[in-house]
Structure 1
């Protein structure tokens, strides 16, 4: 967990910094008042001591960190790692959640369905593609390498985030990636026809800027994605998918899961969408992703959630890491964040009310030092109990609803 404390903890620290000297001043004032008015030194000492004992600044300091750490511990046991102090606080107020598609909502595993050679002089296009993808961490690169019997060794390889990869070999330049790869000649319309079905991704190989081969890949879907998305909707979250896929494949995915989708996005496009949505709503924005392409969006989001199967950069950019496959644990995360936020504010309200009433009674001389000490200990114990009581309230069955989690449909958010 990152050392940066949540904002609510910073606030309580500032309040405590003022509260302690204020309590000392109040105790001295009570002592002086009784001494001057009643001319009774023992009574004045008892009055000042009672005021000092009844005050409970520790309750203010315990409320946020204890609840946060207990929730982080319970979530860790369910494969959800909290890395940022603000993660639970922001998670309790997030209502707009953006999700990457490949590797997040889908399994991230591809298989090559077809290889089409456009230039008949080209030998073994799969070996060339595998050579270009040698250092790739993208699932498509994994699928190409797995399907190839051999990989060509290139003189130079340059990744192009969000688009593909470039390379050079024996004086020729090669590129492998999306059909709209910049600087490369587009495919003829009739060439796209065999691989333009809804679930097929088309990857093109260029040599000297001319298309020479294309590969059709099919992505495996996660069986639990639909149920997980429905649970998030019931929690009142507005869902929106951000993907670098072409509109053809993404539209089919959107229709299947009833989700608004923004397509053909570059890494910075995803980040900018989050910036724009935050500016419009003035609310924290969440993002779930797994790849290098998602790192800018994960860093920009108020709540960045990285999937453990993703790249190291994505995990380093996230406030939360999911150690289990799929997005099913997200419902536990948001329920826990909301419950933790409620507990923190309940504890703070209790602490302020206790100190206000207790200090008033102590200054009036109604309480003795013994009762003040007992009350102070009792107040701290109540805060500890409220912060550490069982987490079963938010670890519920995904179909169980309460008045706080009304059924809602995801609204169509514009990018």
Structure 2
């Protein structure tokens, strides 16, 4: 089972830690672009910014694994990671580098706003691991299931996950296509792979996995890409899903086995002339009652 990190292993909403904007307009542009995004970081910033003014956004576009872009009041902007800035040869000055380095040391996620010429805004988000995450990981391990994390975040926070949750296979600095590749590699080894995510960047990985599991807080695209959609975003539901599916599978096999035995015996008696029509009708009713009764055992998982 592979987990996404942001909004899945970590809390749905993150806390805005550090902000810097060139001017008030840059702050409003940042807010307006984020208002159009479904990413957990965007929702966290929008929720925290009470004094921001929403501006009209046109040509809004999601760049998977990098960020978002759009035209605000006739001017093009990009908002996202430092790698996104590099695509337009936008460099950071010493002040921004210091802000970035300090945020990364604290295990925070950093985002930048740019007009494709210079950086106009910087926001970092502090993140905390869900309190039930350790219980969910331990439960999966007790079921003899390998656990891994695929994240686009830095190696620093990946090391925090290893220490806090005891997950050895934590892969950091991944783009959506890298997550896809990781899943394909595990499938090529003959493993059955599940992917758990909630973000728009997880959609390709959820589709590629044998079992895609969308958390309750997931985006519409994520839910469309998943095999299983959980109403709740409680990570403890993941091992419960697997326990329930195993129980259902055993019940199905039991029903099939007894149905075949039951009918083979019945056909043998009918062919030999030893099956009374009234008893045959009663036997069919009892067969259905048995199947329903056996299936109700699933409720006790």
Question: Does TM-score exceed 0.5, indicating one fold?
Answer: yes
Q: How far apart in 1 are the matches of 2:282 and 2:48?
A: 72
Which of 214, 221, 228 is matched with 1:313 structurally?
221
Aligned residues: 292
Q: Residue 266 in 1 paired to residue 175 in 2?
A: yes
Moved more, 146-155 or 311-320: 146-155
Following TM superposition, by how much is the alpha carbon of 1:147 offset from its aligned partner in structure 2, in angstroms? 3.8
Following TM superposition, by how much is the alpha carbon of 1:368 offset from its aligned partner in structure 2, in angstroms? 4.3
Q: Residue 136 in 1 paired to residue 37 in 2?
A: yes
Distance 1:320 1:372, change over 3 A: same
Q: How far apart in 2 are the matches of 1:159 and 1:280?
A: 33
Partner residue, 1:78: none
Q: How far apart in 2 are the matches of 1:289 and 1:298?
A: 7
Q: Could you say which structure has the larger radius of gyration?
A: 1
CA RMSD after TM alignment: 2.6
Partner residue, 1:176: 79
Distance 1:214 1:364, change over 3 A: same
Which of 128, 149, 153 is matched with 2:55 structurally?
153
Partner residue, 1:280: 189
Partner residue, 2:19: 115
Partner residue, 2:159: 251
Following TM superposition, by how much is the alpha carbon of 1:374 offset from its aligned partner in structure 2, in angstroms? 3.9
1:368-411 CA-to-partner distances (Å, cap 9, x unmatched) read: 4454444443333322221223622x1xxxxxxxxxxxxxxxxx
Task: Report which structure shows greater RCO (CA 8 Å, sep ≥6).
Answer: 1
Pairing of 1:205-224 with structure 2 (within 5 A): 205-224=113-132
Following TM superposition, by how much is the alpha carbon of 1:137 offset from its aligned partner in structure 2, in angstroms? 1.5
Partner residue, 2:66: 163
TM-score by length of 2: 0.85
Which of 199, 221, 226 is matched with 2:107 structurally?
199
Distance 1:169 1:376, change over 3 A: closer
Q: Which runs of 5+ in 2 are unaligned?
A: none
Q: Residue 338 in 1 paired to residue 240 in 2?
A: no
Distance 1:245 1:362, change over 3 A: same
**1:291–1:310 contact (8 Å) kept in structure 2:** yes
1:85-118 CA-to-partner distances (Å, cap 9, x unmatched) read: xxxxxxxxxxxx111111112222112211246x
Q: Which runs of 5+ in 1 are unaligned?
A: 1-96, 395-415
Distance 1:371 1:106, change over 3 A: same
